[in-house]
Chain A
Amino acid sequence: MISSSSGLNELYSVSQENLADWLDRIQSSAKLIAHQEVGGILLYQPVSDSRQIAWTEARPTLSSKDAFFPPTEQLFTIQREGNNLTIVESEPVGKQVLFGIRPCDAQGIKALDALYLETDPADNYYQRRREATTIIGMACREMAPSCFCTSVGGAPDDSRFMDLMLYRGDDHYFLAVITDKGASLLSSFPLKSDLLEAESAAEQIKSYIPSRLPIEIPNQEDWPASFASPYWDEMSERCISCRICAYVCPTCRCFDVRDQLYPSENGTQVFERIRCWDSCTGTAYRRIAGGHNPRPEKGQRLRNRFFCKYYYYPAQYGPVACTGCGRCIDACPVGVDITEALSYVAQRGSLSDLDRSGA
C-alpha cells in the first residue's frame, strides 16, 4: 500500500485489475477522464466506469487540452430584466483526474501554463481547472510514424509534467509518484501495490520504451531569416484553411469570444458570454471591422502558425509551443507537414548570410 509519505521516484507494481478498481473509487468523487474508443476513434473522454477505458498506449486523436481549455467555455451568464442586468459567474469546477495522459500532452499543458498561469494576469478559467486536476501519465510503448517528441525535449517516458506516472510492463504496471498532488491522490484513494527494487524496475521499464533519432529543429535565432522567404507561399498552396491542425494541437490556444442568446423566459433575457477555440490559419482570423485584413494570404497564415510555435511563443512566454505529438501531420487532409517547415528553416539558418542572399 502506498502512503502519502512515499519518496519520489519509488517504483511500485500494480495490476490492471487493481488500477481499474482504484479508478472506480476515484470516479465516485471526481470527474475521471481516460482513453475511450468513440466510434472507432481513441479520445480522452469522461468515463463513469473503468470498463469503458481503452487500455492502450496509442496516441489519442485529440489532445488533452480541453480538460483545461474546453473547445467552448461559458465565461459568465448575463440575466437582463428590462434595464436591470446581472452578471452571474460560471459555476466552480469540481475535481478531475486525467488518466493515461501521454507525455506530449502533458508537455502541452506545461506550455499552456506559461501563458495562462505564469503570465500576468492568470486566466481564471484555466487556473481553476488546472488546480482541480491531477494528472496520471502513461508512458508510450510505441511511437506513431509522425511522432517527434524526442526532437523537442520530450520522450515517450517523460514524467516531468505528471503527478503520477504509469509504465506498462508485460503483466503489470509500474507506478511512480512524481508530485505531492499525486501522493495526495494516493493517500485519499489507497491503491494496492508492491514496492519494487527501484534500480532493476527502472531497467525493466527502459526496455519497453521506444526511441527515435531526433529530426532537425532550427535554433530560435534561425527563424527570422526565413520570414520573408517565398517558401511559405509555396508550402501553403495546398492548405485549405480548415484549421484542423489547431484543433488537434495540444498547445494551440487562440480563442474567440461571443455572446449566445437564449429564448427569454418570463421577461428575463438570458445569454452567455462564451469563448471558443480559434486558429490563426482561418481566413478571417485577423480581419477587422471595415474589412482590412493584414494576413490575407494562406502563406502568411501558415507561416504565423509555425513561427508562433517555435519563435513567437518561446520569445513571449518561454516554452516552445510544439510537443512533437505529430497530430497535425496526421490530421491534415492535404499533407502539410510541420517537420518539413522545420527542416527548411534549420537548413536555411545554417547558411551564412552570403549564401542566403544568393539562394
Chain B
Amino acid sequence: MADNGSNPLKPDLGYIAEVKDLGAEIKLFSVKLLNGGSEQFNYYHPGQFAFLSAFGIGEAPFGIASTNERSDLLDFAIQRLGSVTTGLHEMGEGDIIGMRGPLGNCFPMDRFQGKNLIVLGGGIGGAPLRPVIHTVIDHRQDYGHFSILWAARHPSLLVFTDEYDDWGSAPDTELHLTVDQPDTKWDHNIGLITDLLERVAPSPENAITITCGPPIMIHFVNKMLVEKFGFKPEQNYVTLEARMHCGIGKCGRCNLGEKLVCVDGPVFNMEEVGQMLESYL
C-alpha cells in the first residue's frame, strides 16, 4: 500500500450500487466508490481483500470477488455470520458503505500462465476465487486446462450459481459441483470436495491448484493433492482467512507464527504454509 501521507485506517466512502441474493444468508454487494474514491482501487488484483465498514457497527475484511477488467464496481460475497456481516446484510442499494484497501498480496496469475489450473472452492470460500476464474476465462488462451471443483454443504450455500453455465462452457474448462447434503432437485455429485477431487484425479504435471474454504477443507484437499496425486506443496496455493482489525500489519491479530496473514498473505503456497511455525488449522 502506497504511503501517500493519508490515514490508512480511514475508509473511503462508497455506496452499494447493487445487492443480489447469492444463497441462504449470502448476498453479493457491488460497491461504487464516491468521488472516484481511492485511486488504489483501480489496480487491485485477484486474491486481494478490503475492509468494509457498516458504520456504527464496525468493519471486517472480505476478499474482493470482482476483477477490475470486468467491472468498475467492487464485488463482495458476504455470508451473514457475525455482527458486521449482519449490519451489511441489513443495508440496501444506495446505502453508504466504508471501504479500505485493496490489501494483502495476490495470486501470481502471471506465473500461472501456461499451466493447467485446478481451482477448489468451498462454500463462501469461493468468493476470493471468482476473480481467478474470471481472469482465466477472460484470457483463456493464456492458461492450460482449467478445472473448477466447487463445493458447499448444501445447494443453498453454493455461490455464483448463475455463472456456472458460463464457467462450464468456456473452452477446455470443466466444472464439477458437489454438496454433502443434497436436496431433492440436486443432480450433481454428492459428497465432500475431497470425494470430488479423488474422482477428478488431477495430474500434477505442469499444474497449479488454488484452494479456498474452511481450514479443515484446505488441510484435507492439500493432503490428498500431495499424498495421493503427487503434487509438490509449492504447486498448491491457498488463501487464508484470519481475524484482523487493521489489514496493514499493525494490530497483531492475524499472525501465524512470525507471518501476518494481512501483509504476508492472504495468498500462500503450501510450501510457505508448511514452513510456518504455527498451524492455520
* B contact residues around A286 at 8 Å (CB): 242-243, 253-254
* B contact residues around A144 at 8 Å (CB): none
Complex: chain A residue closest to B257, CB-CB: A312
* B contact residues around A261 at 8 Å (CB): 56
A87 engages B1 (CB within 8 Å) = no
* A-B pairs with beta carbons under 8 Å apart, 20 shown: A87-B98, A89-B7, A120-B3, A125-B9, A253-B252, A255-B246, A256-B251, A257-B245, A278-B245, A286-B254, A288-B242, A289-B81, A290-B214, A294-B280, A304-B278, A307-B257, A307-B277, A311-B258, A312-B255, A316-B260
Complex: chain A residue closest to B2, CB-CB: A121
B36 interface residue (CB < 8 Å to A): no
Binds A, one of B39-47, B57-65, B66-74, B108-116: B57-65
How far, in whole Å, are A76 and B8 apart by their CA atoms in the complex? Answer: 12
* B contact residues around A316 at 8 Å (CB): 258, 260
Cβ 8 A contact of A294, one of B215, B246, B251: B215
Whole-angstrom distance from the CB of B40 to the nearest CB of chain A?
Answer: 12
A315 engages B258 (CB within 8 Å) = yes
* A contact residues around B8 at 8 Å (CB): 121, 124
A289-322: which residues lie under 8 A (CB-CB) from chain B?
289-290, 292, 294, 304, 307-308, 311-312, 315-316
B281 engages A294 (CB within 8 Å) = yes
A87 engages B13 (CB within 8 Å) = yes
Complex: chain A residue closest to B54, CB-CB: A259
A123 engages B250 (CB within 8 Å) = yes
Cβ 8 A contact of B243, one of A87, A119, A125, A288: A288
Query: Which residues of chain B have a CB within 8 Å of any CB of chain A?
Result: 1, 3, 7-11, 13, 15, 53, 55-60, 81-82, 84-85, 94-96, 98, 214-215, 241-243, 245-246, 248-258, 260, 277-281
Select the residue from B3, B10, B281 with max chain A CB neighbours within 10 A: B10
Complex: chain B residue closest to A126, CB-CB: B250
Q: Could you tell me the dominant secondary structure of chain B's interface residues?
A: loop
A258 engages B81 (CB within 8 Å) = no
Complex: chain A residue closest to B251, CB-CB: A255
Whole-angstrom distance from the CB of A7 to the nearest CB of chain B?
Answer: 36
B58 engages A257 (CB within 8 Å) = yes
A83 engages B81 (CB within 8 Å) = no
Cβ 8 A contact of A124, one of B7, B55, B249: B7
How far, in whole Å, are A78 and B13 apart by their CA atoms in the complex? Answer: 11
Beyond A261-B56, A289-B82, A304-B255, is A85–B96 a contact (Cβ under 8 Å)? yes
How far, in whole Å, are A297 and B189 apart by their CA atoms in the complex? Answer: 37
Complex: chain B residue closest to A274, CB-CB: B58
* A contact residues around B251 at 8 Å (CB): 254-257, 275, 278
A75 interface residue (CB < 8 Å to B): yes
* B contact residues around A275 at 8 Å (CB): 9, 245, 251
Complex: chain B residue closest to A290, CB-CB: B81
A68 interface residue (CB < 8 Å to B): no
A258 engages B7 (CB within 8 Å) = no
Complex: chain A residue closest to B95, CB-CB: A83
Cβ 8 A contact of B94, one of A83, A89, A254, A280: A83
Beyond A83-B95, A83-B96, A315-B258, is A294–B7 a contact (Cβ under 8 Å)? no
A122 interface residue (CB < 8 Å to B): yes
A312 engages B258 (CB within 8 Å) = yes
A160 interface residue (CB < 8 Å to B): no
B245 engages A119 (CB within 8 Å) = no
B3 engages A257 (CB within 8 Å) = no
* B contact residues around A255 at 8 Å (CB): 245-246, 250-252
Whole-angstrom distance from the CB of B214 to the nearest CB of chain A?
Answer: 7
New A-B contacts (17) at CB < 8 Å, excluding given A286-B242, A286-B243: A80-B96, A87-B11, A87-B13, A121-B1, A121-B8, A122-B3, A254-B251, A255-B250, A255-B251, A271-B55, A273-B59, A275-B9, A278-B251, A285-B253, A286-B254, A290-B214, A294-B256
A214 interface residue (CB < 8 Å to B): no
Cβ 8 A contact of A257, one of B1, B59, B85, B280: B59
* B contact residues around A289 at 8 Å (CB): 60, 81-82, 84-85
How far, in whole Å, are A80 and B3 apart by their CA atoms in the complex? Answer: 28
A85 engages B55 (CB within 8 Å) = yes
* A contact residues around B250 at 8 Å (CB): 115-116, 123, 255
How far, in whole Å, are A43 and B280 apart by their CA atoms in the complex? Answer: 39
How far, in whole Å, are A186 and B56 apart by their CA atoms in the complex? Answer: 45
A259 engages B3 (CB within 8 Å) = no
A257 engages B246 (CB within 8 Å) = yes
* A contact residues around B278 at 8 Å (CB): 227, 294, 304
Complex: chain A residue closest to B240, CB-CB: A294
Complex: chain A residue closest to B34, CB-CB: A85
Contact flags A246-257 to B (C-beta < 8 A → 1, else 0): 000000011111
Complex: chain A residue closest to B87, CB-CB: A259
How far, in whole Å, are A253 and B256 apart by their CA atoms in the complex? Answer: 17
* A contact residues around B246 at 8 Å (CB): 255, 257
How far, in whole Å, are A259 and B60 apart by their CA atoms in the complex? Answer: 12
Complex: chain B residue closest to A287, CB-CB: B243
A103-125: which residues lie under 8 A (CB-CB) from chain B?
115-116, 119-125
* A contact residues around B254 at 8 Å (CB): 286
B10 engages A76 (CB within 8 Å) = yes
Cβ 8 A contact of A259, one of B7, B55, B95, B257: B55
